[in-house]
Amino acid sequence: MDSLTTDDFPSLRFHTDDFPTESRAEMLRDIIRSKFLRLKITPLSNWPLRVEGSLRVLPGLGMLSAYTLGFRIERTPECLTDGNDSVCLCFVLAGRAFIGQARQDITLAHGEATLLSAAETSTIIFPGTARSIIVSLPASALAPRVADLDKTWMQRIPRESEALKLLAAYLGFMQHEMALASDDLRHQTAIHVYDVVALAVRSASDASEHLPGRGVQGARLHAIKADIIDNLGRPDLSIELIAARHGMTSRHLRRLFAGERTTFSDFVLERRLARAHRLLTNSNRPNIAIGTVAFECGFGDLSYFNRSFRRAYGTSPSSIRDDGGGAAEQSDLAQFRARRDARS
């Protein structure tokens, strides 16, 4: 099945705040499944499920537009039993998304898009506040317009793409109920979207951006590092937690850090100690307790914090605090790295 049916269903707007808390995920899943795609929908850990969006279905075309907060959607093996083999364009309008399909992964920033197959399992994770549009169209409609369609999955369509900008305008047009009042106009709009999606995909292929090379991996690792830094104060911060938040295995995450000749644990320790150094030398908190510093930086063991700090900086946390760190000409992070490299 690679087509969508409208059944006199032009559009629907929804907000999870309007649903009972205990059944939000189920109700949202049922709404989307009824006219769009069968999806597994879950909030990320420590985030409430909060989605505000709209669902629009035209002949042979569907559009799911959503504002989300810490959100994961998946096409699991169970979801594939719906027989839907449409092509899905994931378009990130704000925020970022981590996407995985067919043993490939890609990180999309705002203004970027990629093409997925609904016939294969996939995962899309929005790690924070995001706005996105997922467009579903029949593979049979796109295949004549894009050579070797099967080779275009998971390629990045950059925000600079003029075709993608034109697509954004078309999708904005589709949001207006009265603008698509006639069946003929709906049909023509769907055909225009096919043509523009095909143009965007072809232009990305011509730019040879479909290979998941070091640039993609580097962008993903950068996003992961930013997430770690945002969560340094959590005593339960672990590679398993971060990997789950970014939709990957712990083994995969270890490989990403290994590519930079470091480890997850070393990166976390380095950043926690650097943060501790900044707190201890902060003139606005001259008498801060060492235990408070350790706790705020995610250390659950004060003895371990003291030992690690001394190894990194060659002196105790209290000494750094008492002299205000004024004798140090290097940055705290540079000091740590210099001592670490000297030991290796």
Average pLDDT, the chain: 80
**Residue 186 pLDDT greater than 80, yes or no:** no
At residue 137, the pLDDT reads: 92
Note the pTM of the prediction, 2 decimals: 0.57
192 three-class SS: helix
At residue 284, the pLDDT reads: 76
CA 38 – CA 225 distance, rounded (Å): 32
**Residue 166 pLDDT greater than 70, yes or no:** yes
**Residue 38 pLDDT greater than 50, yes or no:** yes
**Residue 178 pLDDT greater than 70, yes or no:** no
**Which domains, from first to last, does the chain contain?**
11-206 (2.60.120.10), 214-343 (1.10.10.60)
At residue 282, the pLDDT reads: 78
At residue 342, the pLDDT reads: 52
The amino acid occupying position 275 is R
Task: Give strand pairing partners of 68.
Answer: 51, 130
Task: Give strand pairing partners of 184.
Answer: none
- 43's tokens: 């909030």
Average pLDDT over residues 308-322: 86
Q: At what angle do helices 332-343 and 264-280 cross, to 10 degrees?
A: 140
The tens digit of pLDDT for each residue in 121-150 reads 999 988 888 889 999 999 999 999 888 888
Burial class (CB in 10 A: 0-12, 13-18, 19+), 159: middle
The more confidently predicted of residues 327 and 299 is 299
Which pLDDT band, with edges at 50, 70 and 90, does 212 fall under? very low
**Residue 283 pLDDT greater than 60, yes or no:** yes
The tens digit of pLDDT for each residue in 331-343 reads 444 544 554 555 4
Q: Write out the DSSP string of 100-130.
A: EETTEEEEEETT-EEEEETTS-EEEEEEEEE
The tens digit of pLDDT for each residue in 82-123 reads 888 899 999 999 988 999 988 888 899 889 999 999 999 999
Which pLDDT band, with edges at 50, 70 and 90, does 176 fall under? low
CA 153 – CA 330 distance, rounded (Å): 47
Helices (H), 109-238: 139-142, 162-174, 183-206, 214-230
Which pLDDT band, with edges at 50, 70 and 90, does 299 fall under? very high
The tens digit of pLDDT for each residue in 218-234 reads 556 767 887 788 888 88
